[in-house]
Structure 1
Amino acid sequence: MHATVGWTEDGQQRSALWRSENNAPPPKAVHIVRDDISADVAYKRASIGEYMLWRGDFNNARQLMKAITRRAQTRARKPTASPAEDFHLHRQDQARRARILGMLLVELDANYVLDYPRAPDVRLAATEAYGESAEPSLLSLRELLSLIGAHEWRRTGVHIPALDANIEPHFGVFSPLRGEYVQLVADTPLPSGSTTAFDIGTGTGVLAAVLAKRGIAHVIATDKDPRAIACATANLDRLGFADQVEVQLADIFPAGRASLVVCNPPWIPTKPTSGIEHAIYDPGSRMLRAFLDRLGKHLEPGGEAWLVISDLAELLGLATRDDLLAAIDRAGLLVLGRTDTTPTHPRARDADDLFHAARSRETTSLWRLAPR
């Protein structure tokens, strides 16, 4: 259920649905602002938690957002002796900026029309993100810009060399830009006689597609996010794998067993702040531990699992290799082998990044596991 926000404008009572991907609380009060508001005033009002509903030229709103963003930037920190402390402070800064930037609102009418001078047509992007609408909506300009960007990603797609095709990520579904983990799954020799596979936490469906392309006769791809289910289904259908891959809404495992189980879990054991961050952040490594603990019940005799995970959390001091090995051991599993690769994303080479020391040493590994 969406909350309804009410406000008074030009002497009339108005209301609209509240939309927030990062679960920001609905406004208790809404203040109308126009083209004449200065960036300094807007920033001060946003900083104290005042929601401002824009009623002016759309391009001016975008310029105002850029100005608020500059003012909300935290002065560059020097790394401390504790990467974990640096990381937690960084996440606090990110949350503070997100709160401030989320205070500038726009309204979509019941048909997702953005009724502002010089506003783009966002009806398709909003429908892709939210589904059909029958009521006006209030959302932050920041979120609106993100769904416009997501629409463009979906339209152009992300090229996956292992598939020689594009994957089209949907709004709220993590994009497979970190291609090294996809290539690991594409290159690792399949267990002998593998005819069935589970892709756990499928997201866009990219790994399920790779497994199908490699000849696995029956793949079940699971995810607990309905948006991911819709995204994976659309990608697999478009790529011609609908007959090989079954997509299921499930919290980790489907029923039954498979000869190969593949999982690329969230790799940072801390709290996500939006739906899409669940692909990266997992408090207490809940998904990883649940996957390992329940894995043995879902492997066919002689089968194996591929756990594909980054060691960035270890390099940041948020987890240890001993933690991972102990979890594998407690689950009654043994390590058959491990293949490592280095990240190719630009941040791994950005010397100005606060976490460059960790990112430059990051390794993504495919751990081959089997029951003892």
Structure 2
Amino acid sequence: MNPQSTKDGGRRWLTTVGTKMPRTVVAIDDGITADEAFRLAAAGAGLAWHGDFPGARNLLAALSRRCGTAAGKPFQEQRNHRSRRARILGRLLVPLDPGHVLPLRRGPDVREACAEVFGPSETASLVSLRELLGIVGAHEWRVKGVEIPSLGAKIHPHHGVFSPVRGEYVDLVARTPLPARQLAFDIGTGTGVLAAVLARRGVERVVATDNEPRALACARENFARLGLDGIETLHADVFPPGRAPLVVCNPPWLPVRAHTPLERAVYDPGSRMLKAFLDRLPRHLEPGGEAWLILSDLAELLGLRTREELLGAFERSGLEVRGREDIRPRHPRANAKEVTTLWRLTIRAAPVPD
């Protein structure tokens, strides 16, 4: 990952999400009221905290409460609200000394977590507290791992790589009958969890692609942990060269713009990846083979895409549906009406002439 670094006041600006250093940075401590801090942050000022660490977290929580809620609003209004909230909360800043040492009293040791994301540091820096907490949380997930029952093992996500905490799509890949075992492509591998499931199911060779270097590094580490030597990783926009009898893809589910690198695992503006996958698939799927496209119907529930549009995209790409596997999500934050589907797609046969 290549964080943005901007020198300001003797400290670099560190971020993984591309936000810019606030033009005005105000030094504050626990003498400031939450209302005044919110007024400054909402106006665009950065708030450089100089109190103890628990005080910074308390202020962040107070700012969050003052941002209000958009619950019950239409999807786009909720996204706009979350975007504004993220901007305001991201303006509460904390210092890091050389070596990513957090100098605040009663602060945690963040050195290892920051080094994983930003690399080594020999200079002082400023970082958003909200982003720092996310980095620390991601490091804890990386160490702890996510249990994948169908693997009988854990997957360890890296910061910025989508974690398979919603495991129903993994279950679909684990239970759907394999059309072949000699070769499979895993498109947009992320943590590598689906490639690992295919290898554990007996697929002899798996080629896993992704266009994010951090995802490929994460996948390679997971394959090494699991002792899976038959999986190749390749940096590619979508497909590797050649054809396979099985192609698996779990693309982002919502066709709207992503605001952060992590959101690119969920949001696919204009369905760019989905369309690229479907349009190019006939050139990479062996005749008679299957492509497993995994999609939630959440976009349909939110009015962002219709089922007719999805089926029409299949038809325009020369594909037909051989079958489908459905599953309800188990995650408590999932939409209660949501269904995740594994579409079994094949190349449509040319009509037989009379």
TM normalised by structure 2 equals 0.95
Among 12, 15, 21, which residue is 2:11 paired with?
A: 15
Structure 2 counterpart of 1:279: 265
Separation (CA, whole Å) in 2 of partners of 1:125 and 1:270: 30
Q: Percent identity?
A: 57
Alignment of 1:206-355 (within 5 A): 206-241=193-228, 243-348=229-334
Residue of 119, 126, 137 corresponding to 1:149? 137
Match of 2:113 in 1: 125
8 A contact 1:221–1:245 mirrored in 2: yes
Shift of 1:293: 0.4
**TM-superposed deviation, 1:150:** 0.6
Give, as a single letter, the amino acid of the residue that structure 1 aligns with 2:244. A
SS of the residue corresponding to residue 347 of structure 1 reads: coil
Distance 1:301 1:134, change over 3 A: farther
Q: Distance in 1 between matches of 2:71 and 2:331?
A: 23
Deviation at 1:106, TM superposition (A): 1.1
Mean Cα deviation higher: 19-28 or 199-208: 19-28
Is 1:136–2:138 an aligned residue pair?
Answer: no
* Runs of 5+ unmatched residues, structure 2: 349-354
Task: Flag the 1:230–1:77 CA change in 2: closer, same or farther, 3 A.
Answer: closer
Contact 2:6 2:14 in 1 (8 A): no
Alpha-carbon separation, structure 2, partners of 1:3 and 1:211: 40
Please report the RMSD computed on the Cα atoms of aligned residues, expressed in angstroms: 1.3
The answer to whether the 8 A contact 1:72-1:97 is kept is: yes
User: 1:136 Cα deviation (Å)?
Assistant: 2.7
Instruction: Measure how far apart 1:135 and its partner are.
Output: 2.9
Q: Deviations over 1:64-98 (max 9, x none)?
A: 11111111122x5545xxxxxx0000000100100
Equivalent of 1:203 in 190, 195, 198? 190
Q: Which residue of 2 aligns with 1:354?
A: none
| 1:360 matched to 2:336 | yes
Counterparts of 2:282 and 2:181, CA distance in 1: 16
CA-to-partner distance for each residue in 1:288-327, whole Å, 9 max, x for gaps? 0000000111112322110011000001110011111111
Match of 2:21 among 13, 21, 26: 26
| Cα distance in 1 for residues equivalent to 2:248 and 2:155 | 19
User: 1:72 is matched with which residue?
Assistant: 67
Q: Would the aligned equivalents of 2:187 and 2:249 in 1 still touch at CA under 8 Å?
A: yes
Q: In structure 2, what is the Cα distance between the partners aligned to 1:361 and 1:77?
A: 17
Does structure 1 residue 63 correspond to structure 2 residue 58? yes
Shift of 1:271: 0.8
Q: Give CA deviations for 1:189-211 in whole Å, capped at 9, x if unaligned.
A: 000x4311111111110000000
Structure 1 residue identity aligned to 2:172 = L
Q: Could you tell me which of 166, 180, 191 is aligned with 1:178? A: 166
Check the 8 A contact 1:268/1:280 in 2, yes or no.
yes
C-alpha deviation, 1:133, in angstroms = 2.6
- Secondary structure of the equivalent of 1:252? coil
Instruction: Point out the more displaced range, 251-260 or 290-299.
Output: 251-260
1-side partners of 2:6 and 2:66: how far apart?
Answer: 30
- The structure-2 alpha-carbon separation of the partners of 1:135 and 1:258, relative to structure 1 and needing over 3 Å to count, comes to farther
Match of residue 48, structure 1, among 16, 19, 43: 43
- Secondary structure of the 1:362 match is coil
Deviation at 1:15, TM superposition (A): 3.1
Shift of 1:247: 1.3
Residue 368 of structure 1 and its aligned partner are, at CA, apart by 0.6
Q: Residue 19 of structure 1: SS of its match in structure 2? A: strand
Counterpart amino acid of 2:61?
K
SS in 2 for 1:28: coil
Structure 1 residue 41 displacement after superposition: 1.0
Secondary structure, in 3 states, of the residue corresponding to 1:95?
A: helix
Whether the 8 Å contact between 1:30 and 1:53 is mirrored in structure 2 is yes
Residue-pair matches, total = 346
- Residue 237 of structure 1 aligns with an amino acid whose one-letter code is A
Q: Relative to 1, partners in 2 of residues 1:3 and 1:112: Cα closer, same or farther, differing over 3 Å?
A: closer
* Residues 167 and 24 (structure 1), Cα distance of their counterparts in 2 relative to 1, 3 Å cut: same
Q: Which runs of 5+ in 1 are unaligned?
A: 8-13, 80-85, 349-358
8 A contact 2:249–2:293 mirrored in 1: yes
With normalisation by structure 1, the TM-score equals 0.90
Between 1:20-29 and 1:221-230, the stretch displaced more is 20-29
Separation in structure 2 between the aligned mates of residue 20 and residue 293 of structure 1, nearest angstrom: 35
Asked whether the equivalents of residues 150 and 171 of structure 2 are also in contact (C-alpha less than 8 Å), the reply is yes
Distance 2:219 2:285 in 1: 23
Cα distance, 1:115 vs structure 2: 1.2
| Matched residue SS, 2:321 | strand
- State the Cα deviation string for residues 254-308 of structure 1 (Å, max 9, x = none): 1122111000000100011111111100111100000000011111232211001
* Matched position secondary structure for 1:346: coil
Contact 1:5–1:27 at 8 Å: present in 2 too? no
